[in-house]
Amino acid sequence: MYKRLTAVLFPIAALMLIGALVWGYQENQEKNAILIKAENQYQRAFHDLSYHVEQLHGEIGNTLAVNSASNAMHRKGLVNVWRLTSEAQNEINQLPLTLLPFNKAEDFLSRISNFSYQASMRNLDKEPLTKEEMKNLKTLYTNSADISKMLQGVQSKVIGKNLRWMDVETAMATDENMEDNTIIDGFKTVDKKVGEYPELNWGPSVASIYDKRSVKMLGGNPVSSDVIKQKAAKFADAGSHASIQVTENGKGTEWASYTANVKAPNLKAPLSMDFTRKGGRLISFTDHREIGQKKVNMDQAMIQADQFLKNKGYPDMTAVTADQYENMGNFTYVRKQDGVYIYPDKMTVRVGLDDGNVTGFQASDFIYEESKKHTITKPKLTLSEVRRKLNPEFKETYNRLALIEDDLSQESLCYEFGGNINGSKYRIYLSTEDGTEKAVEEIRTSGK
């Protein structure tokens, strides 16, 4: 009996063992294939990074080599500098550097990219490169040579010692020390060197991109949690029996704020509101009730949103976009000043299409931009003069004056034209100064 059972089970066990070995072998092969693929991608990104930084150095040199009046060559060179820095940034993002300090070098490349892009996009015949900008290019030429040389040094050691990026990733993820820290030390050296470079005067357009919003930009004095509790109760019309809990966020940082959670018998669901600590300005508001089936159309919802803003102390806001997402209506409002739509001063209002009541409000852009002084000049060109610069096939449905921020992060007074072309709806913003296109925006509708 035992022999018969053994005779039956032994082949089965042997087959299972062989199957397990085959499965384990296949799994190991697949794992190795994935690791090899990842290693190859890291190696390619690293070598491409070294190559493009070297090319970047050469392209800056080419731009400096031509005559100072060669605006066409300056534009071509700057476009190539922008392309190469974009390539380098992309390759950095493909490397396992999230745990390795390399932010100074990334920021340096980002500023070169924005500087070269914005300089190349302007009319260099009317606004040629300034002495300060040429001085910047000379400095960047020297700095990029240093960075290129250091990266090439790391590259030579990686090739000579057959170093693997997968070992770097594992070491950084587990805080283990590698036997050879060439790659990690090399990138740390590059980042440290870049951090020692003196800050360049990139100009206001580039500097504005890196301006950080903070409570320091706001007017008013810091307020207490008790003041926030009063503001939250008033905004929510919660009544005397409301339960309001206030939490302070980011204490001692650039983003100090309060969050107020409101519960009351007259409310269908809890409300939450965020306020700035400085000045006690309302940043956002959310009604956490469930939204039922749609019974209200978008026109009715906009009327409710308009009334909501007027009741809450925002009387000069005008809706410029309306989008429907399932049973919710989202409206973007901007401030209107002297007949001009001030797009930087915008806020959004969310309305439930079940009963038309407002369920959300976001005003962070409005709060931080409102503190700025917007200069509105008289248009140099008339509406009819600028209209001639539109595509002849563009079917205009409306026009208005609008103040926007262009690609250079500079405010620009424009004629805004809404209309249709090629079966789609667009907003086109043309400068009131010279009629050039400052922005083009497709209007996409969601829902019905």
8 Å CB contact between 339 and 365? no
Q: Indicate if the pLDDT at residue 7 is higher than 70.
A: no
What backbone phi and psi angles, to 5 degrees, belong to 67? -60, 145
pTM, entire model: 0.62
Arithmetic mean of pLDDT, 102-106: 79
Would you place residue 40 in the very low, low, confident or very high pLDDT band (cuts 50, 70, 90)? confident
Between CA 208 and CA 212 the distance in angstroms is 9
Would you place residue 348 in the very low, low, confident or very high pLDDT band (cuts 50, 70, 90)? very high
More confident residue, 215 or 359: 359
Q: Please give the structure tokens belonging to residue 66.
A: 């031509």
Q: What percent of the chain has pLDDT over 70?
A: 81
- Would you list the DSSP string of 1-47? -HHHHHHHHHHHHHHHHHHHHHHHHHHHHHHHHHHHHHHHHHHHHHH
Find the helix or strand (DSSP H, E) in which 88 lies. Answer: helix 71-93
Find the helix or strand (DSSP H, E) in which 260 lies. Answer: strand 257-263
Please give the pLDDT value at position 165: 74
Between CA 306 and CA 316 the distance in angstroms is 10
Please give the pLDDT value at position 352: 93
pLDDT in tens, 139-183: 988 988 888 888 888 888 888 877 777 776 666 655 555 555 777
Going 309 to 310 to 312 to 317, the CA torsion angle's sign is positive
Q: Indicate if the pLDDT at residue 383 is higher than 90.
A: yes
Residues 6+ apart with CB under 8 A from 164: 39
Domain ranges of the chain: 2-209, 217-370, 383-443
Please give the pLDDT value at position 386: 94
Q: Please give the structure tokens belonging to residue 416.
A: 């805004």
Q: Among 32-41, 54-63, 85-94, where is mean pLDDT lowest?
A: 32-41
* Check whether domain 383-443 has CATH 1.10.3470, yes or no: no
Between CA 38 and CA 46 the distance in angstroms is 12
Would you place residue 448 in the very low, low, confident or very high pLDDT band (cuts 50, 70, 90)? very low
Q: Indicate if the pLDDT at residue 438 is higher than 80.
A: yes
Please give the pLDDT value at position 278: 83
Between CA 418 and CA 395 the distance in angstroms is 8
Between CA 202 and CA 280 the distance in angstroms is 35
8 Å CB contact between 317 and 309? yes
Between CA 65 and CA 73 the distance in angstroms is 10
Arithmetic mean of pLDDT, 265-272: 86
Q: Please give the structure tokens belonging to residue 173.
A: 């993820």
Please give the pLDDT value at position 67: 79
Would you place residue 82 in the very low, low, confident or very high pLDDT band (cuts 50, 70, 90)? confident
pLDDT in tens, 201-256: 776 566 655 555 555 556 668 889 999 999 998 888 877 778 889 988 877 665 67
Question: How many other CB atoms sit within 10 Å of the CB of residue 76?
Answer: 16
Q: Please give the structure tokens belonging to residue 189.
A: 């050296």
Would you place residue 272 in the very low, low, confident or very high pLDDT band (cuts 50, 70, 90)? very high
